[in-house]
Each structure stands twice: as C-alpha cells, then as structure tokens.
Structure 1
C-alpha cells in the first residue's frame, strides 16, 4: 500500500458516507412530506391521522386552522446516522381544505 493511497482512502470513505447520509435525509424528508399531506387531508375529512403520522416515524403532529384550510406539521428525529442523537430534527408541513367547516355551518 502506498502512502498516497493511505491518504486518499479516508477522504473517499468520508465522501461516500456524506453521500449516503444525504440520500437518507432526502428519503426521510419525502416520507414526512407525504405523511403530512395525508394527515392534513384526513383531518380535513374528520378522520384520525395518528397511524399515518406514526408510520412516517414521527411521534406526533400539530394542527392548526388557517381560514378554510387545516394545516399539519409533523417532525421526527433525523434518520441520518448520528444526527438524530444530537438533536437534529426533520419536519414537514402540509395544508388541505377543511371539509368539516363547510358541513358544520
């Protein structure tokens, strides 16, 4: 093994680890965004979105009314190795029409 190879190998492995971590972060963000959209639609219909939110890896959700929209925000500890342990959080928000408000009036 040459000295150049010994110097380059850790740098290549670090780049590979960063690429894998970035892919993990994007995949988690997509899951959270889709779960937030489904949860907002479910709340808008009057259903309980608990199973969707926990299926995405989030512990819970926050919802709020914005005019005729209902918005849901979910958050989960980062799935990237090591970042969740130090407190990095991934979150997503989505809004959907509140169909219950039209029925209640």
Structure 2
C-alpha cells in the first residue's frame, strides 16, 4: 500500500516536472524567435540538454532533463519537451522584401 502511494506521488512529481520543462521550452522558443537571450530561462529549467533549430520561419527548441524524483530518476527516466515559435527576425525580412 505504501509503495503504491509512493509511486503515485512520484508520477505526479514527474508530470509537474514535464509541465515546467514544456513551459520553459515554449518561453525559450519565443525569446530566441525575437532575438533575445534565453540563457536565464534555460538555466532555471533544469534542462540537461538544449537544441535550437530554425526551419520555415519557425524557431524550434528541444529541452531534455533527467527526472529529479527520487526512485524514478534512478531508473534512468528522462523527459523531453519541444516547442516552436515564429522566428520574428526571419518574418520581418520576408515582409520587408514583399513590400508590406
């Protein structure tokens, strides 16, 4: 019974960590898309790896982190979040070329 409760609480903590990581990825994608430095967001996110790719007028960010939940983290579970935002620097150049 106690083991079941511990696993349920651990699962809730992992879900909350995933939500925070997803929010950090979205914020970082928006900041990079505007040309801002996203280092502060990335350092607070607890991400262990970061990747940013621009494609088709979008800036996509992928963050990965190991779980910080005791017991579940020992199993080697890692979380990944990906988010994309409009790359405003690219879109500004395109709109200026089209005469808008």
Structure 1 and Structure 2 fold alike (TM over 0.5): yes
Distance 1:86 1:22, change over 3 A: closer
Please list the CA deviations of residues 53-74 of structure 1 after superposition, one character each: whole Å capped at 9, or x if unmatched: 1211113410111201110000
Query: Is the 8 Å Cα contact of residues 60 and 83 (structure 2) preserved in structure 1?
Result: yes
> Is there any run of 5+ residues in structure 2 with no aligned partner, and where?
95-100
Pick the structure with greater CA Rg: 1
Aligned-residue CA RMSD in angstroms?
1.4
Query: Is the 8 Å Cα contact of residues 14 and 67 (structure 2) preserved in structure 1?
Result: yes
Aligned length: 94
Q: TM-score, normalised by structure 2?
A: 0.85
> Is there any run of 5+ residues in structure 1 with no aligned partner, and where?
1-11
Query: Is the 8 Å Cα contact of residues 53 and 59 (structure 1) preserved in structure 2?
Result: no
Q: TM-score, normalised by structure 1?
A: 0.82
Aligned partner of 2:22 in structure 1 is 33
